[in-house]
Amino acid sequence: MKILIVEDESRIAKRIKRLTRDILGDALQLIIHINTLHEASIYIENNSLDLVLLDLNLNGNSGFELLSKAVSESFHTIIISANKDQAITAFEYGVLDFVPKPFNRDRLEKALHKTITTEKNNEGATKFLAIKKRHRIQLISVEDVLYIKGAGAYTELFLADGKKELHDKSLEKLEQLLSSSFERIHKSYLAKMSEIKEIIVESGSKYIAELKNGKRIPIGRTKYKDIKAKWF
Amino acid sequence: MNLRFLTNFLLICFILLITSCSQSPVFKEYQTLSRIGDQQEWATKNWNDDGWDKRKPIVEAGEVYWTRTPIDILKAPEPLHPYAIRPYIYGEYEVFWDGVLIGKNGNPGQEVLLGPEGKMLTTFILPTHLSQEGEHILAIRSSLYYFPDHVGMRVDIANYDDLLTDRLIETSYMHIFAGAFLIASIYFLFLFLSDKKEYPMLIFSISCFLFFVLNLTEFITTYVPIHYAYHHIRLEIKGVLMFSISFLIPLYLSKQFPIPKRKISLLIYAGILLFIFFIKHNFIDFTTRNMALSMWFFSFGITIFGIYKKMKGARLVMLTLFLALLVNFIIPFEVGIFIGFSIILLGMFYLLSLRIKEQRLAYQTSLVQSTRLRLELLKKNIQPHFLMNTLTSLIDWIEESPKKGVLFIEALAKEFDLLNQIENQTLIPISQEIALCRTHLEIMEYRKEINYSWQEENIDIHEKIPPGILHTLLENGITHSLPQEDNSIKFKLIFESNTTYKLYTFLTFASVSTEKMKDREDGTGLKYVKARLAESYQEHWKFSSEPTDHGWKNTIKIYS
């Protein structure tokens, strides 16, 4: 696992490093500490990572710009910050967890645990999905997303206005962030349950979900029972 | 409040106006004839005065002369309510009505011998049997020792009671105003004494007082007998009072509505007033009228400027000026001038109350501001970014190296203690502020593991400085700087002073951060510094904050 710590307090960065090594043990391949937003931004662009631990207030500058960049990437982001009042906004951006300072080993372990398992993010507060456009990051409201299709390491977001956008996060990671309103109905599909009009059973035990806009997406055979029990 | 006062005042004016116009005259006065000389027969009703002079006689001091005036009584008096006559004459005289001596005022012809006797205003009852409808003859034997060139003759005939009480009523009304302005004068004098910078209050107080004295001077003849020989003293006093008031009102207005080239304009205006005061000095009515008029025009000019510049209260003052003018068109000058002045003074009063309100608001704002600054200082060490980061580091130190953790806690305790000591002060010794900065650096060293160093140059430990401002600049320096290659950041405080100013230069030596510094320009930190400086030094300070090759440079200049 490759982890980047963005933190301008050297003592705290050391503490995060030490505790993370301790918690992850051999699973940790690389842990690196950067203390400015600018350098962190460059590093994110040029290296592959599995997790970023980000402080939102670095050298007097707000880390939200870096945050929107980070959440558009394939990896998860966890915020470690002193300003608890920024937690709600951070969750809206789609971070996996928000660890308020001061924190102990248990709290950090809980946060790191979310990245290892596919445990769902219970907060369910994600309001935006950040997608990479040329030279900029665009925030898409979760409300506008009808369903998401996995496409290898990437995902395709199908929007209410008919557009399709690419996202760098895997379907599994998005499922973690969007668990409150979306359901994994198929190994390649994540659908917003409120958009499903009806479930059609076709011959040969084929299950199809028909959306309000008429679009049909398949439901996995193994998923059908769970979904039916939970939603209908 | 002021406006209600104004309406009441106008109501009273209106009543006065009505009462003064309500009675139609009961007599008609014909051409007065005069003759120098002295014969008792000249008093008789049917004396042939064909050869007498229609012009005013030119008499020598003390010379006796006679005047004969035919008067028609238009309506006989009601029974038991006799008519009376009141001559407005300079000199000592005897009054004959249809040949009968009905009264005397002093001793005509014997003024030197017997000394001044009599008074300016006297009222004589007309015998009922001689005041029937028809033609009568008023003969007056008089002498004018003191001002022989002031010969004049005018009479008033009316019901005896009315003649006596009308002027008393008028006087009492005017004295009510006089009293009000005396109290206003004393009140604003006290206000001025409590704050000696408030010159408009002093000017207003003096204006009110002068107006009070002018009012007394004008109406004193009603109840204090003055011999005509001393009458000019009263007139001179009146003239001087008019002059002063005519100067003070525009002076006051020019303070409230500062016009360009104020001093020169006022000097020229004073020159014009002096010119009016000294030409035709003996015609006091002419002088007062012209002075009042110049005052009106000059005040008008200043107020126009005030309105043009949209200054508060200018419109109301303009209104009072027009009201004063209007009053003087419809009321005789002697009364009108007082009412006019009263209205203008009320306008000035309103301006003062506006200013007092402004001051009160400013004071309240400053109180709120002080409290806000105090809270901001207190908040420094409990705002989450400082506190939570410190606590996180502290936990780590305790886990890793408990002994150092204890030292860290001690440094933290010291900073809290210092902040507590300075929390409710507006100026603290520089040594205390420096101690605060040093402790803060100690804490930050534990947190950031950067070698911070503090240097001072030429510090005078007796100097005082608003609390927390260097601390704020230091915080900025720590937050926005990256360490130099040897992992150090250096801060240096330099003090210089001379006779005109004291200068603190606060330098940060660090490698220049590549981060954008959006909020550096006027972030909350610098706002705090500026607000503290304004609180303690008003406008007498200058603050700058700019990047340099070696890091950052702040300067605080305090003018003495």
Q: Say what angle helices B228-256 and B333-379 make with each other, to 10 degrees.
A: 30
Residue B111's region, left for phi above 0, alpha for psi from -120 to 50, else beta, is: alpha
Q: Do A59 and B479 touch (CB under 8 A)?
A: yes
Q: CB contact, 8 Å: B476 with chain A?
A: yes
Task: Identify the CA nearest to B73 among candidates B82, B60, B64.
Answer: B82
So what's the pLDDT on residue B349?
86
Domain with CATH 3.40.50.2300 in chain A: 2-116
Q: Which residues of chain A have a CB within 8 Å of the CB of B517? A: 60-61
Q: Which residues of chain B have a CB within 8 Å of the CB of A10? A: 447-450
Q: CB contact, 8 Å: A36 with chain B?
A: yes
B326, B466: one domain: no
B211, B287: one domain: yes
How far A11 CA lies from chain B's nearest CA (Å)?
5
Q: Is the residue at B489 inside a domain?
A: yes
Burial (CB < 10 A; 0-12, 13-18, 19+), residue B35, is middle
Q: Is the residue at B106 inside a domain?
A: yes
B306, B388: one domain: no
Give the C-alpha separation, B364 to B9, whole Å: 33
Q: Is the residue at B12 inside a domain?
A: no
How far A16 CA lies from chain B's nearest CA (Å)?
10
* Ranges under pLDDT 70 in chain B: 1-23, 281-284, 512-524
User: Which residues, numbered 488 to 547 in chain B, qualify as contacts with chain A under a Cβ-Cβ cut-off of 8 Å?
Assistant: 513-520, 523
Question: Quick check: helix, strand or coil at residue B383?
Answer: coil
The domain of B134 spans: 33-152
Q: Is the residue at B23 inside a domain?
A: no
**Domain total for chain B?**
3
Candidates B384, B479, B518; nearest CB to A82: B384
Q: CB contact, 8 Å: A37 with chain B?
A: yes
Q: Which residues of chain A have a CB within 8 Å of the CB of B515? A: 36-38, 58-59, 61
B238, B119: one domain: no
So what's the pLDDT on residue A229?
75
Task: Identify the CA nearest to A129 among candidates A51, A181, A83, A53.
Answer: A181
Where is pLDDT greater, at A57 or B72?
B72
User: What is the CA angle A191-A193-A198, rounded to 5?
Assistant: 100
Checking ipTM against 0.90, whether it exceeds it is: no
B451, B419: one domain: yes
Q: Do B389 and A101 touch (CB under 8 A)?
A: yes
The overall average pLDDT reported for chain A is: 85
Record: fold of A2-116: Rossmann fold (3.40.50)
Q: Which residues pair with A151 in a beta bridge?
A: A154
So what's the pLDDT on residue B519?
46
Q: CB contact, 8 Å: A103 with chain B?
A: yes
Q: Do B448 and A103 touch (CB under 8 A)?
A: no
So what's the pLDDT on residue B185?
93
- What amino acid occupies position B54? K
Which string of DSSP letters, residue by residue, matches A155-221? Answer: EEEEETTS-EEEESS-HHHHHHHSTTTEEEEETTEEEEGGGEEEEEEETTTEEEEEETTS-EEEE-H
B393, B470: one domain: yes
So what's the pLDDT on residue A106?
92
Q: Which residue of B has its CA nearest to A58?
A: B479
How is residue A36 written in tokens?
Answer: 């400015």
B421, B357: one domain: no
B297, B217: one domain: yes
Q: Is the residue at B554 inside a domain?
A: yes
B129, B183: one domain: no
Convert the pLDDT of each residue in B37-51 to its tens digit.
Answer: 888 889 888 888 888
CATH classification at residue B181: 1.20.1070
Record: fold of A128-231: OB fold (Dihydrolipoamide Acetyltransferase, E2P) (2.40.50)
Among B152, B184, B210, which residue terminates a domain?
B152
Convert the pLDDT of each residue in A93-117 to its tens digit.
Answer: 888 889 999 999 999 999 998 887 7
Domain with CATH 2.40.50.1020 in chain A: 128-231
DSSP strand pairing (A196-202 vs A206-211): antiparallel
Q: Which residue has the tokens 């499922």?
A: A175
Convert the pLDDT of each residue in A30-56 to its tens digit.
Answer: 999 998 888 898 998 898 898 999 998
Rounded to an integer, the average pLDDT of A199-211 is: 82
How far A176 CA lies from chain B's nearest CA (Å)?
29
User: What is the CA angle A201-A203-A207, rounded to 5?
Assistant: 30
So what's the pLDDT on residue B283?
67
Q: Which residues of chain B have a CB within 8 Å of the CB of A57? A: 385
